[in-house]
Structure formats: C-alpha cells, structure tokens
Structure 1
Amino acid sequence: MKPPRQRFGRHARSVMADRRWVLLPLCARAAWLQLTDIGDVMPELRQPPAGRAVQIEDLCRLLSANPDEMGFAIRSLLEREVLEKVANGYRLKAF
C-alpha cells in the first residue's frame, strides 16, 4: 500500500487569507508557509510533548536559515501569535 501523496503548500491559501499575513515581513511569511508544511510531518511542531519543544536551532536547520536572519522572522511570528513560546522552544500556533 502506498503512503498518501504529500501536497506541499496545501495550507498556503488559508495562511495567506489570514488577517495577520499582510502585517508580516517577507521573511516571516516565508517561514510561516514552510512551517505549516513541516508541521504536517513533524507533529511536535504543533503539539510538543512536555519538555521537548522545537528549538530555534532546529527551526533554522529545518528552514535552512541563518540563525541571525531567522531571529527577526521568529520575533515577528511571535508578535502576531503565529508561533508560541513554550517551556524551552516554540510551537506553531496558527496553521
């Protein structure tokens, strides 16, 4: 039996229709779109188990981003409540 085919970008329409979308800089928009796709295959990004939230280093690795550049995008996503700070990392709150 074949695994279901992944449709990357399937969240794009709902994310781009969100009222917070226009308030974000381009780097945060790109990160949000990519994180919604990653959240489909990495459930701990949306619902982290206790004490095992996704760290900023992991987000940078997953998005192939420089930590310095990613910091601005993460701050913007936190301000708009797209990402949420949990105990020792982050979780995707809006997807």
Structure 2
Amino acid sequence: MKPPRQRFGRHARSVMADRRWVLLPLCARAAWLQLTDIGDVMPELRQPPTGRAVQLEDLCRLLSASPDEMGSAICSLLERDVLEKVATGYRLKAF
C-alpha cells in the first residue's frame, strides 16, 4: 500500500486567511508558508523536545536563505506570535 501523497502548500489558505498575514513583510510571509510545510515532516519545528529547538542556522538551511534575510523575517514572525523563542531556538506557534 502506497503512503498518501504529500501535498505541499495545503496550509496556505488557512495561513493567508489569518489576520496577522497582512501585517507581515513579504520575507516573513514566505517564511511562514514554507515553515508550515516543513513542520509537517519535521515535528520538532512545532513541538521541540527539551533542549532541541530548531536553530536559526537550521532555518536558514531549510529555507535556503541568508542569515540577514532570515533574521528580519524571524523578528517579524516573533512580533506577531507566529514563531516562539524556545531555549536557544524557535518553535512554530501558528500553522
């Protein structure tokens, strides 16, 4: 039996309907959409085990972004409670 096909972008409609969406700059919007898809296959992004939160370097690598670009996106996502600071990393709060 084949596993169900992963449909990327399935969270887009709910994320884009969120009232915080219009308040975010484009880089943060793109990061939020991509992080929701990554969270489906990487559960530690949503529910990190103790002491193993996803680091900024990992987010940059996963999104193929430079630390400068990702830094401004993360600041915006933290301000709007989309991401949450956990220990030394980050957790996706809204998806």
What TM-score does the superposition give when structure 1 sets the normalisation length? 0.99
State the secondary structure of the residue aligned to 1:91. strand
Q: Distance in 1 between matches of 2:51 and 2:20?
A: 29
CA distance in 1, matches of 2:23, 2:44: 26
**Displacement of 1:75:** 0.1
1:22 alignment partner, SS class: helix
Q: CA deviation at 1:3?
A: 1.6
Q: Normalised by the size of structure 2, how large is the TM-score? A: 0.99
How far does residue 4 in structure 1 lie from its aligned partner after superposition? Answer: 1.3
Distance (whole Å) between structure 2 residues aligned to residue 20 and residue 13 of structure 1: 13
> What is the identity percentage for the equivalent residue pairs of Structure 1 and Structure 2?
93
- Shift of residue 88, structure 1, vs aligned partner: 1.1
Q: Deviations over 1:37-87 (max 9, x none)?
A: 000000000000000000000000000000011100000000000000001
Counterparts of 2:30 and 2:69 in 1: how far apart (Å)? 12
Matches within 5 A, 1:1-95: 1-95=1-95
Q: List, as ranges, runs of 4+ consecutive aligned residues in structure 1 with deviation greater than 3 Å.
A: none
For 1:2 and 1:67, how far apart are their aligned partners in 2? 38
The answer for unaligned runs of 5 or more in structure 1 is: none
Aligned-CA RMSD value: 0.4
